[in-house]
């Protein structure tokens, strides 16, 4: 994305005002261009979302499978990446066909992306975030101290296991979540940035 000379000048002025730093034309061109590119992506996403919501209204439906031409998407539950036509979209997000079937068959409640683990926990997190070795987790499941729900594909094979917070209160009392890692980096100007 190339910025006009006027836009570069404006970007330099804003940067100076906001951060008290002078950028060279080249720096302003590069950083400003990146910012515009970022907003273009956001804008495109907002447009896509709007188009999808419009379809819900028009066809009086609650959700639909996306178009095969739409870029691959990641399922909010199992985390697998699938082409558009294997991704069910509704107002709660994106779920792959297998997870969506498990929801419809009431194997699991209509789970969505749960970053804070307020409702459910993913299998890999039991190991990485709760410090429980997979072998220990299997043992705890046998002892019914950990309650997992296995998600199966059409052929009966298990592809993912989820743990509902409501069914694992005792376990969660005993094994607390590790604090999230803080990621910090220093930008070329020496500013500390935390993500
Ligand atoms: Zn899935």
Is 6 in the same domain as 27?
yes
Residue 134 and residue 141 in contact, taking contact as beta carbons nearer than 8 Å: no
**Does residue 43 lie within any of the structural domains?**
yes
Number of C-beta neighbours around residue 48 at 10 A: 13
| Euclidean distance between CA atoms 27 and 47, whole angstroms | 30
Buried b (16+ CB within 10 A) or exposed e, 3-42: beeeebeebbeebeeeeeeebeeebbbebbbeeeeeeeee
Specify whether the CB–CB gap between 189 and 21 falls below 8 A: yes
- Residues (pLDDT < 50) of the chain are none
8 and 52 inside one domain: yes
Q: Is residue 153 part of a domain?
A: yes
How far apart are the CA of 97 and the centre of ligand 1, in A? Answer: 7
What is the 64 CA–ligand 1 centroid distance (Å)? 15
Q: How many domains, in total, are found in the chain?
A: 3
Q: Are residues 42 and 83 in the same domain?
A: no
Q: Is residue 193 one of the residues assigned to a domain?
A: no
Asked whether residue 166 is domain-assigned, the answer is yes
Note whether residue 194 is domain-resident: no
pLDDT at 183: 66
On whether both 8 and 50 belong to a single domain, the answer is: yes
Q: Give 188 Cα–ligand 1 centroid separation in angstroms.
A: 39
* pLDDT tens-digit readout, 73-102: 999 999 999 999 999 999 999 999 999 999
181 Cα–ligand 1 center, Å? 26
- Distance between Cα 42 and ligand 1 center (Å): 24
Half-sphere exposure of 6 (CA within 13 A, CB side): 0
CA 100 to ligand 1 centroid distance, Å = 7
Q: Which domain holds residue 174?
A: 114-179
Take residue 84 and report the two structure tokens written for it: 């558009």
84 in Cβ contact with 66 (< 8 Å): yes
Clarify whether residues 118 and 167 are in a common domain.
yes
Is the residue at 184 inside a domain? no
Q: Does the residue 109 lie in any domain?
A: yes
99 CA to middle of ligand 1, Å? 4
- Check whether residue 120 and residue 167 sit in a common domain: yes
User: Minimal CA–CA distance to 75: which of 103, 43, 116, 51?
Assistant: 103
Assign 80 to helix, strand or coil.
Answer: coil
Residues 138 and 91 in one domain: no
Instruction: Classify residue 159: in a domain, yes or no.
Output: yes
For the segment 147-170, what is each residue's pLDDT rounded down to a tens digit?
999 999 999 999 999 999 999 999
């Amino acid at each position: 994305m190339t910025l006009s000379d006027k836009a570069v000048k404006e970007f330099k002025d804003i940067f100076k005002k906001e951060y008290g730093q002078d950028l060279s034309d080249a720096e302003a061109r590069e950083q400003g261009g990146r910012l515009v590119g970022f907003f273009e992506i956001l804008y495109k996403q907002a447009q896509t979302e709007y188009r999808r919501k419009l379809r819900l209204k028009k066809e009086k439906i609650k959700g639909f499978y996306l178009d095969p031409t739409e870029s691959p998407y990641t399922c909010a539950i199992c985390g697998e990446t699938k082409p558009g036509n294997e991704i069910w979209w509704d107002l709660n997000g994106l779920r792959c066909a297998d997870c969506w079937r498990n929801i419809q068959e009431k194997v699991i409640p209509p789970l969505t992306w749960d970053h804070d683990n307020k409702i459910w926990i993913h299998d890999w997190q039991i190991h990485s975030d709760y410090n429980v070795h997979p072998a220990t987790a299997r043992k705890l499941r046998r002892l019914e101290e950990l309650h997992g729900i296995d998600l199966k594909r059409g052929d009966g094979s298990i592809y993912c296991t989820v743990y509902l917070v409501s069914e694992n209160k005792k376990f969660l009392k005993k094994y607390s979540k590790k604090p999230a890692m803080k990621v910090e980096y220093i930008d070329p100007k020496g500013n500390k940035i935390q993500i």
